Amino acid sequence: MNLNESDKQLLGKVEELSGENAFSCYQCGKCSAGCPFTEEMDLLPNQVIRKVQMGDASVLEAETPWICASCLSCEVDCPKGNDVPAIMEAIREISLRENFDEVNLNELDASDLPEIALVSNLRKKTG
Ligand code: SF4
Ligand code: SF4
């Protein structure tokens, strides 16, 4: 596969932040088969990794990394032991570094939310 410089940059950033080798994924799909949140996702977890392998920056606009609950089910199921949630986290970090906040806490109706949900949103979804 021939990647241009910007493709390589995204791939390199994700690999650096996650500590994972994206190409150790061979797209068997077991991570997606066992993920409990795929119905809410716009890309399956293995599709997220495929986009990272291709350096496809559209992955930064996907909902899936924000839906991922870091439950580790995919990592347990992966025959290569790939840390998929770390890749999701790296994608979130790259988005947040571009000053993009997934939620605006000032606009959030917090009346019915437990405090832990607010703290979690603050840590995970804002830069
Ligand atoms: S289970 Fe592992 S090797 Fe298979 S698609 Fe998912 S990350 Fe890739
Ligand atoms: S860690 Fe994320 S991608 Fe993996 S199974 Fe859990 S919710 Fe799905």
| 54 contacts 48 by C-beta, under 8 angstroms | no
Write out pLDDT tens, residues 110-120: 777 777 777 77
Q: What is the pLDDT of residues 66-92, one digit of tens each?
A: 999 999 999 999 999 999 999 999 999
* Protein residue with its CA nearest to atom 7 in ligand 2: 68
For 70-125, strand residue ranges (E) read none
Report how far ligand 1's centroid is from the alpha carbon of 40 (Å): 19
Spatial separation of the C-alpha atoms in residues 127 and 113, rounded to whole Å: 21
pLDDT at 123: 74
Residue 11 CB–ligand 1 contact under 6 Å: no
Question: How many helices and strands in the chain, by DSSP H and E?
Answer: 7, 0
Max CA-CA distance within the chain? 51
User: Counting ligands in written order, which one lies closest to the CA of residue 66?
Assistant: 2
Instruction: Point out the ligand nearest to the CA of residue 44.
Output: 2
Over 80: is that where the pLDDT of 28 sits? yes
